[in-house]
Amino acid sequence: MSQSTMRINKTSQSQLAKVDFEHLDFGKYVSDHMVVANYTNGKWQDAEIIPYGDLPMSPAMLSLHYGQSVFEGMKAFKMMDGNINIFRLKKHHARLNKSLARMCMPEISEAMFTNALSELVKLDHLWVPGTDGASLYIRPVVFASEARLGVKISDTYKFVIMTTPVGPYFSKPYKLKVEDHYVRTAEGGTGFAKCAGNYGGAFYPTLVAKDEGFDQVLWTDHKDHQYIDEVGMMNVMFVMNEKLITPALNTAILDGVTRDSILSLARQMNFPTEERKISLTELEEGLQNGSLTEAFGVGTAAVVAPIQSIRIHGNDYTIPLPDDNSFQVRVKNHLLDIRTGEVEDRNDWNYIIKVK
């Protein structure tokens, strides 16, 4: 990692001084540099680091028309000792390859991904905020770049990594509606892949829900709208009868890294966990008899987003807001402490870039 063979073209006009680290709106500032690599002649060519900026493209570029575009969302944290931690790099890389395979796109080796990302973060390490709960959000994206109007699998691709400093993100408690008309995806579809089209397709139902006064939708299975899948663009978890319950993964559910981290930590905290189907009937009963004590979304951006109410078949149910003893607050703090090195990383989740 110390000796880089990557070509690096440094910017002569750093934008760092313009960043107001006290007010970091998500995605407002993009860091100085980006990684770019091209897939041509059947293989990934060497990645390079160049100043962040526009890329030339043809309007016939296949990703625009037929949707071969996948991405990742991950974070790097400033640790207590001043070094930088790219959290769960390996798992994000593995998921990127799963998404790529589903979309007939070429996989990226772990070595290439790790080297390019570490060099980028090392070069732009001053962009990693040092304030509590803040981080550098990392956005790898791969898209079909061939210019051709016929429907086909692209022969060429681009892999880009951008980063943006983000503040501590506290989600206001969500008001949800169970979505029993639209679907985000269906089993056998692309729901488990982090591909662009899943987002485009989810915008409209979410807009409708927002117009009705909700913050997000609780997605249900495509067949009967009877079982819970996810919330918005996050995985969903419940605490019911003192157990952490979350829908078991299937092809319609994204295999969230935060979901995985929280399930692992729950087990290590001796908090019982269950991954299984959760029906609306069970959810409604839990809300009526009070055995459901917590509901929250989990994902890289917010870590944990509390849910304050859910509308099921026309009935609104409220859920107590979390306090310091709530599982979601304890597990979130535990996760943050692992990321900054305050507690031991027993699971080998931290990928540390030495800048000190």
Unique residue bearing structure tokens 């991904």: 113
**By the rule CB under 6 A, 70 interacts with ligand PLP:** no
Phi/psi for 98 (5° steps) reads -65, -40
The CB-of-261 to ligand PLP minimum distance in angstroms stands at 8
Contact 226, 280 (CB under 8 A): yes
**By the rule CB under 6 A, 230 interacts with ligand PLP:** yes
State how far the Cα of 113 lies from the Cα of 35, in Å rounded to an integer. 10
DSSP-assigned letter for residue 234 = B
Out of 300, 326, 328, 350, the residue judged to bind ligand PLP by CB under 6 A:
300
**By the rule CB under 6 A, 218 interacts with ligand PLP:** no
The CB-of-65 to ligand PLP minimum distance in angstroms stands at 22
The CB-of-244 to ligand PLP minimum distance in angstroms stands at 15
Out of 125, 194, 311, 332, the residue judged to bind ligand PLP by CB under 6 A:
194
User: Integer distance in angstroms from the first to the last C-alpha of the chain?
Assistant: 15
User: What is the token pair recorded at 88?
Assistant: 């769960």
Out of 51, 73, 201, 341, the residue judged to bind ligand PLP by CB under 6 A:
73
DSSP-assigned letter for residue 100 = H
**By the rule CB under 6 A, 258 interacts with ligand PLP:** yes
**By the rule CB under 6 A, 167 interacts with ligand PLP:** no
Please choose, out of 38-46, 146-154, 227-235, 329-337, the segment that lies near ligand PLP by the rule CB under 6 A: 227-235
Closest CA to 288 of 240, 248, 323, 245: 240
- 160 to 72, 87, 123, 334: CA distances (angstroms): 11, 19, 16, 32
Nearer to ligand PLP, 146 or 229 (CB): 229
User: What is the token pair recorded at 284?
Assistant: 């409604």
Contact 84, 352 (CB under 8 A): yes
Sign of the torsion formed by the C-alpha atoms of 259, 72, 213 and 28: positive
Please choose, out of 57-65, 121-129, 230-238, 348-356, the segment that lies near ligand PLP by the rule CB under 6 A: 230-238
Please choose, out of 3-11, 124-132, 174-182, 233-241, the segment that lies near ligand PLP by the rule CB under 6 A: 233-241
Out of 76, 136, 141, 257, the residue judged to bind ligand PLP by CB under 6 A:
257
Residues in the site for ligand PLP, rule: CB under 6 A? 73, 194, 230, 233-235, 254, 256-259, 299-300
